[in-house]
């Protein structure tokens, strides 16, 4: 990983004079870039010069949903900061037909040079633009609506009668506003936008601001004119042309909330509408800053790559992220939709009102929005029990942060691909987890005062890390927030704290937790760690800031056990060395596990198995601790137990070790059998009980637990006999569909219901069930159909490929598909995107043989830089496979011996159809870890 560079290197202002002959900076002997016409291009850097900046955009757009193209004119009011005769801005895949400079002395044409490699357009003036004066650019442009999911792109949906209708929508984050109109497409170039959109009478247009008026034009066209936006970054601009319908309500603060969707799904919008009203009111009060726009629209887009997007005043979502039917949607759907809306509305303050200076600090947007999801929903919707799910985000972040390919939360990026790669678990989940750690250490009240101060101080501005830390520091406060948090944001990875208890004395040491066979890579790291602990003698949480490599603390009295990192509120792991070490905590779990909170129990499960991977703990110790899980009932420790145990047999599946594989599967089913058998096939219970039920019954059916298979088979038969009209409990329907998809007849029936359904939640569950079927011809067909986008949406292809890769009958198909269609995939989903990264790691990271490592390395090693050779996810997957190989070489004999001592059940291999639910539904809980 490239070490962090000082931020000033990325913010340094360009100080050379461009007014005489377009001189390049540096004169370092590098060849000058050439424009498309063969002339030298006057700028050789990825970042734009700061000689001019935009103040206001007047944007006129005319999308044509018949010819699937658009044309437009943009007038950009400029402020000149340094005399120059060259203006460099962004333009991507646009045909710019003319460029004029509008000045008091009149309009004059500008020479245009294009440099597509950097998405840049240089405009050359024959007379210099003068510092302090304002000018206006006018550019005319045209392009096709994009076939991808970014820029100004085309989307479509099919009505129940089979008619295909078109939609034009935008997705500009991170670097695609330049594909919608020529602009200064960097977050620090904030400006106001006045937008006008021409449309046909059968359509309506939406943008960030309310519509002021509609003008009737010749030829049956209409021009919608929107109010001017507040000052904001280009990536937040949005416009949609569609035939959507809407429902609306007002918040207590007078903001109009509207939810837009296709006509036949408008009856699924009420839940999102009510959730958005409640959440926007919460944020308005919590941040003590009024939401600055008169409206907030939420639009369900039929084709959408990510989950949602925070465009200011016009947030956009996947249909599955917004639409809810109380009779069809599951508990996981309700939780997921609420959290997604909470995330995007949090962005209206964190990200929109206050924006990171550059993408290296993306976490200031995404980490905060992810963190605020949990804060807001915990208060507005306590019945959703979101605190039962937060810890899973920290475990996910640690999974990638434990590899040598990880990166600091704040890390240098320049190219669009590097920027795209920042939208990962480190920016989102690690960002949220370190904020939660800081909040816990400072206290929620003090933390809230600091973040409100930050938002008020930097409204409509751009910030860097230090602005946040300074806002969280009170004058005279002994706590040096910046020093603490720099250690968490400016270096990659996380610490492992080793604890050795001798009487009242507790010896502490820290090192980097890293999955590697090179110990030198853990050297040179030091964190300021907010430690917390409780003991058998006192449930009062004790706190200690560990600033050094080693330290000693003293307990008030000797204790039978000590648990560090209370509720795992800290982003670090703990190893209990020496005597009694782990044995005291294992005994506690076996005899009185509720003495610890469910999060503490989950953290012990996670930590002990992860310590096996780095040789700190014997596998026997971890497996002995797991035995207590037969008594466990809470969602976080149960799902974490499965997340640690299931990958063990997933590694075996790809090594053809069927007897041992089935022995491991048998042990896991037996471990949770009591809890599984107590599950009811209903939608009753609390949120956590319902999500856990869905998770367990799916696992049990896929693992052929006889009572589960019998019930699911009976329910599927009755549902099929009713032609899909019988009402199934939503929370258990995934398990029912998974059993039904095992036969060709059942698979075909499910697919027909998938094709007919207007309920995205039902389609999502059916899609997952189809992908975990043992029918290989169907799995291959499913991936091909998702790629073509007719029978199944291409937006769902990454999920389908990953889910099939978790299927023991499908993983080879998924790997072959990824290789065969690589170029199509990176063109559709964008190089560096989370979708591409998810497919790369999802398809390959459970391989554990040198032969497969060589095959994976052979394919990715053959790529060029332009087709992904330098993607971080490729390094991650290399390291994951190597870690799997080491794990199997080291621990397989121990695992075999331990299972012989602790299991008597070996399932009949012929009874296992080979399905596996590792990628089972996008919900806050990690079904893909089954």
Per residue in 733-769, pLDDT (tens digit) is 999 999 999 999 999 999 999 999 999 999 999 999 9
Give the model confidence (pLDDT) of 630-653 as tens digits.
Answer: 999 999 999 999 999 999 999 998
- The neighbour count for residue 847, using CB atoms within 10 Å, is 23
Angle of the 598-613 helix axis to the 582-592 helix axis, nearest 10: 140
**Per-residue pLDDT, 609:** 98
Give me the pLDDT at residue 517, please.
85
Q: What pTM did the predictor assign?
A: 0.93
The answer to whether 568 and 440 are in contact (CB under 8 A) is: no
| 917 has pLDDT over 90 | no
Residue 912 DSSP label:
-
Cβ atoms of residues 499 and 577 within 8 Å = yes
Q: Residue 166: phi, psi to the nearest 5? A: -105, 150
Contact criterion met (CB below 8 Å) for 773 and 748:
no
User: In this predicted model, what pLDDT tens digit does every residue of 198-236 receive, in sequence order?
Assistant: 999 999 999 999 999 999 999 999 999 999 999 999 999
Q: Which residues pair with 123 in a beta bridge?
A: 87, 112
Question: Residue 106: its pLDDT value, please?
Answer: 86
The DSSP letter of residue 886 is H
Q: Please report the pLDDT score of residue 189 as a whole number.
A: 98
Enter the tokens of residue 210: 């309310």
Q: Is 344 a catalytic residue?
A: yes
What does the pLDDT average to over 656-671?
93
Residue 748 CA to its chain's centroid (Å) = 32
Q: Do 76 and 100 form a contact (C-beta atoms < 8 A)?
A: no
How far is 193 from 59, CA to CA, in rounded Å?
7
3-state DSSP helix/strand/coil % of the chain, to nearest 5: 45, 20, 35
Cα–Cα distance measured from residue 185 to residue 629, given in angstroms and rounded to the nearest whole number: 52
Predicted confidence (pLDDT) at residue 773 exceeds the cutoff of 80: yes
DSSP for residue 426: I
User: Which residues pair with residue 562 across a beta bridge?
Assistant: 535
N- to C-terminal Cα separation, the chain:
31
CA 591 from centre of chain: 39
Q: Is the dihedral of CA 553, 556, 559, 563 positive or negative?
A: negative
Residue 395 and residue 606 in contact, taking contact as beta carbons nearer than 8 Å: yes
In this structure, are residues 75 and 210 in contact, taking their beta carbons and an 8 Å threshold? no
Position 254 scores a pLDDT of 97
* pLDDT reading at 929 higher than 80: no
- Residues 357, 462 contacting (CB under 8 angstroms): yes
| Phi, psi torsion values for 141, nearest 5 degrees | -150, 165
- Spatial contact of 660 and 629, defined as CB atoms under 8 Å apart: no
- Mapped onto helix, strand or coil, the DSSP state of residue 249 is strand
Average pLDDT of every residue of the chain: 92
- Answer yes or no: is pLDDT of 571 > 80: yes
609-637 pLDDT, tens digit per residue, is 999 999 999 999 999 999 999 999 999 99
Q: Using CA atoms, how far apart are residues 783 and 804, in angstroms rounded to an integer?
A: 9
Q: pLDDT confidence of 331, banded at 50, 70, 90?
A: very high
| DSSP letter assigned to residue 524 | T
Q: What is the pLDDT of residue 341?
A: 98
CB 72 within 8 A of CB 61: yes
Across 490-507, average pLDDT = 96
Please identify which residue in the block is written with the tokens 């510092």: 131
pLDDT at 235: 98
Active-site residue (options: 344, 492, 511, 653): 344
| Among the listed residues 273, 215, 210, 219, the one whose alpha carbon sits nearest the alpha carbon of residue 247 | 273
Q: Say how many C-beta atoms besides its own lie within 10 A of residue 709's C-beta.
A: 19
Checking if the pLDDT of 904 tops 70, the result is no
Write out the two tokens for 808: 């023991």
The CB-side HSE value for 71 (13 A sphere, CA atoms) comes to 4
Contact 505, 552 (CB under 8 A): yes
Task: Give the phi and the psi of residue 241 in degrees, each rounded to 5.
Answer: -120, 125
Task: Give pLDDT tens digits for 510-527.
Answer: 999 999 988 888 899 999
Query: Strand 505-512 and strand 550-554: pairing?
Result: antiparallel
**Number of neighbouring beta carbons within 10 Å of residue 228:** 15
Using alpha carbons, list the distances in angstroms from residue 7 to 4, 697, 715.
9, 50, 60
Instruction: Specify the DSSP class assigned to residue 915.
Output: -
User: How does residue 28 score in pLDDT terms, banded at 50, 70 and 90?
Assistant: low
Average pLDDT over residues 680-701: 96
pLDDT at 918: 34
Strands of 145-207, DSSP E: 151-158, 164-171, 192-200, 204-207
Which pLDDT score is estimated for 903? 76
Cis peptide before 174 (omega within 30 of 0): yes
What pLDDT, on a 0 to 100 scale, did the predictor assign at position 478?
75
Q: How confident is the model at residue 476 (pLDDT cuts 50, 70, 90)?
A: low
DSSP string, 316-346: EEEGGGT---TTT--HHHHHHHHHHHHHHHH
Residue 303 structure tokens: 């084709």
Give the residue among 345, 370, 346, 366 at the shortest CA–CA distance from 356. 366
Mapped onto helix, strand or coil, the DSSP state of residue 67 is coil
Counts for the chain of helices (H) and strands (E), in that order: 28, 29
Cis bond upstream, residue 637 (ω within 30): no
pLDDT at 587 over 50: yes
In DSSP terms, 222 is beta-bridged to 199, 216
Tokens of residue 418, six digits:
């590097």
Q: Residue 26: pLDDT above 60?
A: no
At 709-720, the pLDDT tens digits run 999 999 999 999
- In whole angstroms, give the CA distance from residue 756 to residue 493: 47
- The beta strand positions in 38-160, using DSSP E, are 52-64, 69-80, 84-90, 95-103, 106-109, 111-115, 120-129, 134-144, 151-158
Residues 6+ apart with CB under 8 A from 514: 402, 403, 404, 493, 521, 522, 614
- Range 504-514 average pLDDT: 96
Answer with the residue of higher pLDDT: 855 or 8: 855
Q: CA angle, 758 as apex, 755 and 762 as ends, to 5°? A: 80
Q: Encode 93-115: b = buried (16+ Cβ within 10 Å), e = exposed.
A: bbebeebbbbbeeeeeebebbbb
The helix (H) or strand (E) run that includes residue 832 is none
Question: pLDDT tens digits for 787-817?
Answer: 999 889 999 999 999 999 999 999 999 999 9
27: confidence class by pLDDT, cuts 50, 70, 90: very low
Identify the pLDDT of residue 518. Answer: 87
Which whole-number Å values give the CA distances from 530 to 36, 401, 434, 542, 757, in the listed order?
Answer: 55, 19, 10, 10, 50
């Amino acid at each position: 990983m490239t070490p962090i560079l000082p931020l000033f290197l990325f913010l340094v202002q360009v100080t050379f004079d461009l007014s005489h002959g377009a001189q390049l900076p540096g004169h370092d002997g590098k060849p000058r870039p050439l424009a498309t016409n063969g002339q030298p291009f006057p700028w050789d850097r990825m970042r734009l010069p700061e000689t001019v900046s935009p103040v206001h955009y007047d944007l006129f757009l005319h999308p044509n949903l018949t010819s699937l193209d658009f044309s437009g004119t943009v007038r950009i009011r400029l402020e000149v900061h340094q005399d120059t005769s060259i203006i460099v801005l962004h333009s991507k895949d646009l045909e710019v037909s003319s460029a004029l400079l509008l000045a008091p002395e009149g309009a004059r044409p500008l020479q245009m040079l294009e440099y597509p490699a950097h998405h840049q357009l240089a405009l050359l003036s024959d007379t210099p633009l003068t510092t302090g004066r304002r000018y206006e650019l006018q550019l005319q442009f045209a392009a096709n609506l994009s076939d991808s999911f970014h820029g100004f792109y085309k989307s479509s949906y099919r009505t129940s009668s089979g008619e295909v209708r078109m939609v034009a929508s935008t997705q500009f984050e991170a670097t695609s506003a330049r594909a919608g109109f020529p602009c200064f497409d960097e977050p620090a170039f904030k400006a106001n936008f006045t937008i006008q959109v021409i449309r046909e009478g059968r359509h309506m247009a939406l943008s960030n601001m309310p519509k002021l008026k509609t003008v009737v034009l010749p030829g049956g066209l209409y021009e919608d004119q929107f109010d001017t936006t507040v000052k904001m970054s280009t990536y937040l601009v949005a416009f949609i042309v569609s035939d959507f319908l809407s429902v609306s309500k007002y918040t207590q603060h007078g903001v109009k909330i509207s939810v837009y969707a296709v006509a036949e799904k408008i009856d699924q919008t009420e839940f999102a509408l009510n959730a958005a009203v409640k959440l926007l009111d919460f944020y308005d009060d919590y941040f003590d800053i009024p939401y600055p726009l008169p409206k907030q629209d939420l639009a369900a887009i039929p084709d959408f790559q990510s989950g949602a997007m925070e465009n200011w005043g016009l947030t956009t979502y996947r249909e599955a992220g917004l639409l809810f039917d109380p009779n069809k949607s599951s508990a996981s759907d309700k939780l997921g939709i609420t959290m997604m809306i909470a995330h995007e509305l949090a962005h209206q303050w964190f990200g929109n009102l206050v924006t990171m200076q550059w993408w290296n600090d993306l976490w200031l947007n995404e980490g905060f929005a992810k963190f605020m999801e949990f804060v807001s929903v915990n208060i507005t919707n306590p019945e959703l029990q979101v605190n039962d799910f937060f810890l899973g985000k920290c475990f996910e972040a640690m999974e990638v942060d434990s590899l040598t390919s990880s990166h600091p939360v704040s890390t240098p990026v320049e190219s669009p691909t590097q920027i795209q790669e920042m939208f990962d678990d480190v920016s989102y989940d690690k960002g949220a987890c370190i904020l939660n750690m800081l909040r816990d250490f400072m206290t929620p009240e003090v933390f809230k005062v600091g973040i409100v101060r930050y938002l008020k101080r930097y409204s409509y501005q751009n910030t860097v890390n230090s602005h946040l830390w300074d806002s969280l520091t009170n004058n005279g406060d002994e706590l040096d927030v910046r020093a603490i948090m720099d250690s968490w944001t400016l270096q990659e990875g996380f610490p492992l704290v080793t604890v050795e208890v001798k009487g009242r004395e507790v010896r502490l040491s820290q090192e980097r937790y890293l999955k590697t066979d090179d110990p030198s890579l853990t050297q040179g790291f030091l964190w300021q760690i907010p430690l917390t602990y409780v003991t058998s003698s006192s449930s009062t949480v004790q706190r200690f800031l560990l600033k050094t490599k080693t330290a000693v603390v003293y307990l008030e009295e000797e204790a039978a056990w000590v648990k560090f990192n209370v509720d795992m509120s800290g982003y670090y792991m703990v190893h209990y060395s020496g005597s009694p070490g782990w044995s005291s905590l294992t005994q506690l779990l076996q005899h009185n596990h509720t003495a610890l909170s469910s999060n503490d129990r989950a953290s012990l499960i996670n930590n002990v198995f992860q310590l096996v991977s780095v040789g700190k703990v014997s596998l026997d110790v971890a497996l002995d601790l797991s035995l207590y899980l037969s008594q466990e009932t809470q969602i976080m420790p149960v799902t974490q137990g499965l997340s640690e145990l299931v990958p063990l047999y997933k590694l075996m599946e790809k090594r053809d070790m069927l007897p041992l594989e089935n022995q491991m599967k048998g042990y896991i089913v037996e471990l949770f059998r009591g809890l599984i058998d107590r599950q009811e096939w209903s939608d009753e219970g609390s949120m956590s009980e319902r999500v856990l039920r869905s998770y367990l019954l799916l696992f049990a059916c896929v693992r052929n637990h006889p009572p589960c298979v019998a019930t699911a088979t009976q329910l599927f038969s009755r549902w099929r006999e009713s032609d899909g009209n019988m009402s199934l409990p939503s929370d258990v329907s995934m398990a029912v569909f998974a059993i039904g998809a095992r036969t060709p007849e059942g698979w075909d029936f499910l697919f027909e219901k998938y094709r007919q359904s207007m309920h995205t939640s039902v389609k999502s569950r059916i899609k997952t069930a189809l992908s975990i079927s043992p029918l290989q011809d169907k799995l291959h067909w499913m991936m091909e159909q998702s790629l073509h986008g007719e029978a199944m949406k291409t937006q769902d292809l990454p999920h389908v490929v990953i889910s099939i890769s978790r299927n023991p009958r499908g993983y080879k198909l998924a790997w072959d598909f990824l290789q065969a269609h690589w170029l199509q995939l990176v063109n559709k989903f964008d190089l560096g995107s989370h979708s591409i990264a998810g497919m790369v790691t999802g398809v390959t990271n459970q391989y554990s043989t040198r032969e497969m490592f060589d095959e994976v390395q052979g394919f990715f090693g053959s790529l060029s830089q332009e087709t992904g050779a330098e993607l971080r996810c490729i390094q991650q997957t290399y390291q994951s496979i190597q870690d799997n190989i080491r794990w199997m070489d080291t621990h397989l004999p121990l695992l075999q011996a331990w299972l012989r001592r602790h299991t008597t059940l070996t399932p009949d291999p012929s009874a296992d159809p080979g399905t596996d639910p590792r990628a089972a539904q996008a919900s806050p809980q990690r079904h893909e870890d089954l």
